[in-house]
Amino acid sequence: MKIIGKFKFPGLILLMTVLIFAGTPAVEAEADQLVISTWGFGEDLLWEHVFTPFEEEFDVEIVLEVGNNADRLQRVIMRGGTEVDIIYLAESYALEAIAQDVFAEIDRSLIPNLDQIYDIAVAPHGEQFGPAYTLTSYGIVYDSNAVDEPITSWADLWDSRFENNLSIPEFDTTSGPAILFEAADLAGVDYGDDLDAVFAKLQELKPNLVTTYPRSSELANMFAQGEVIVGPTQSFAFDQIKAAVEGAVWVYPEEGGYVNFNTVNIVKNSDQKELAHQFINFLLREDVQQSFSESGLDSPVNVNVELTEEQVEELGVVYGLDLIESLKTMDWDWVNDNKQELLRRWDRELLN
């Protein structure tokens, strides 16, 4: 028995191979994929000013996993740091992620644009972790058409003229704990030494409190419907409230507003670490920061970004080192170390 094979008819087999593959369409190589965990807020603007430009420049496909800080971080932890490459987190949740060993150590030599950002944003949680790519401030918004005298102090939130007209963030949000620090100051105690006095002062706020809000969009809706006329919030939400209420006014209280850093980090078990470094470097680049700042999406940390006074006022962005250095910071280590007790007392003594 003779076998017809490559040794007997090599020319025929070669011809057949050519004919088979000549009729097969070419298979394009799939682009690299970068999975980013981020907030849903401003998603259209993120695509326009950050994600799509990065995809086009680096020939990569970006996939988003969206949600609030707590939910997204918990999903990453439950999956053992897989399936996500980059995670955006507010300051307190970044500290929690560090405690849970979620982040990979970054290679700063791969992020040269770190040299272009404010010193305070370069390594908010240590040289081995990611930078702050933007920051937000926390102050008070009120409806000037419904408020006779301007608000100038955190203490004004306790004023009886705002009875049943106030909303504050829920405790377990980016800026929720700020009210605890202000209650401590008004009570004349150290927040770490006399928690009873802090919550006693907080209880005095209850007659003014309509509800707490989990998302800034809900505060904007309450302003629009006339349910509230005053509420502390983050700077990025002011534009939305101003669109809902013509008389909306933003104020940094005389005691000072707060600053909060939004960080970007590489997840420990990402298999796209080189691309993730490129993304962080891109996010800090002058033209990218200029673009998303001018859209009102985020505040810049790149020192070369230039905005006019009119833009700053209109967009509600945090801009300029003098302003940033005037803002207070929250003791997130204390908040995270005592979170469960603080949450229990918040629910029991403020909301019930």
Output the pLDDT for position 42: 83
**pLDDT grade, residue 289 (50/70/90)?**
very high
pTM to 2 decimal places = 0.81
With respect to residue 21, please indicate whether it lies within any of the assigned structural domains: no
User: Is it the case that residue 331 has pLDDT exceeding 80?
Assistant: yes
Q: Are residue 205 and residue 346 in the same domain, yes or no?
A: yes
**pLDDT grade, residue 17 (50/70/90)?**
very low
Closest listed residue to residue 285, CA positions, set 119, 48, 124, 114:
114
Q: Are residue 92 and residue 216 in the same domain, yes or no?
A: no
Q: Are residue 157 and residue 99 in the same domain, yes or no?
A: no
Which residues fall within 8 angstroms of residue 232, CB to CB, at 6 or more apart? 138, 139, 140, 141, 157, 168, 169, 175, 178, 179
With respect to residue 198, please indicate whether it lies within any of the assigned structural domains: yes
**pLDDT grade, residue 20 (50/70/90)?**
very low
* Beta-strand pair 209-213/166-169: parallel
Computed over every residue of the chain, the mean pLDDT equals 90
With respect to residue 12, please indicate whether it lies within any of the assigned structural domains: no
**Model confidence over 38-51: pLDDT tens digits?**
988 789 999 999 99
The torsion angles phi and psi of 150, rounded to 5 degrees, stand at -60, 145
DSSP character for 5? Answer: S
AA letter at 270: S
Output the pLDDT for position 30: 59
| Whether 139 contacts 118, CB under 8 Å | no
Q: Are residue 190 and residue 334 in the same domain, yes or no?
A: yes
CATH at 319: 3.40.190.10
By CB neighbour count within 10 A (0-12 exposed, 13-18 middle, 19+ buried), where does 335 fall? buried
User: Is it the case that residue 339 has pLDDT exceeding 80?
Assistant: yes
| Whether 260 contacts 273, CB under 8 Å | no
Cα separations in angstroms, 270 against 106, 276, 324: 12, 9, 33
With respect to residue 178, please indicate whether it lies within any of the assigned structural domains: yes
More confident residue, 237 or 48: 48
Rounded to whole angstroms, how far apart are CA atoms 82 and 76? Answer: 7
The mean pLDDT of 95-101, rounded to a whole number, is: 95
User: Is it the case that residue 321 has pLDDT exceeding 70?
Assistant: yes
User: Is it the case that residue 255 has pLDDT exceeding 90?
Assistant: yes
Output the pLDDT for position 94: 96
Q: Are residue 197 and residue 250 in the same domain, yes or no?
A: yes
Which residues fall within 8 angstroms of residue 264, CB to CB, at 6 or more apart? 86, 87, 88, 130, 131, 132, 133, 280, 283
Output the pLDDT for position 313: 82
| DSSP SS3 for 263 | strand
With respect to residue 13, please indicate whether it lies within any of the assigned structural domains: no
pLDDT-above-70 percentage for the chain: 91
With respect to residue 296, please indicate whether it lies within any of the assigned structural domains: yes
Q: Are residue 70 and residue 94 in the same domain, yes or no?
A: yes
Rounded to whole angstroms, how far apart are CA atoms 290 and 299? Answer: 9
Please give the tally of structural domains in the chain.
Answer: 2
With respect to residue 173, please indicate whether it lies within any of the assigned structural domains: yes
Which residues fall within 8 angstroms of residue 136, CB to CB, at 6 or more apart? 174, 234, 235, 236, 259, 260, 262, 299, 318
Output the pLDDT for position 352: 83
AA letter at 107: D
Domain that holds residue 211: 137-258+330-350
**Model confidence over 68-77: pLDDT tens digits?**
899 999 999 9
DSSP character for 328? Answer: B
**pLDDT grade, residue 174 (50/70/90)?**
confident
With respect to residue 19, please indicate whether it lies within any of the assigned structural domains: no
**Model confidence over 177-227: pLDDT tens digits?**
999 999 999 999 999 999 999 999 999 999 999 999 998 889 999 999 999
Cα separations in angstroms, 32 against 44, 55, 231, 274: 22, 10, 44, 11
By CB neighbour count within 10 A (0-12 exposed, 13-18 middle, 19+ buried), where does 120 fall? middle
Q: Are residue 216 and residue 344 in the same domain, yes or no?
A: yes
Q: Are residue 304 and residue 338 in the same domain, yes or no?
A: no
Output the pLDDT for position 315: 81
**Model confidence over 297-319: pLDDT tens digits?**
899 999 999 999 999 888 878 99
Q: Are residue 340 and residue 310 in the same domain, yes or no?
A: no
Q: Quick one: tokens of 254?
A: 């005389």
| Whether 268 contacts 101, CB under 8 Å | yes
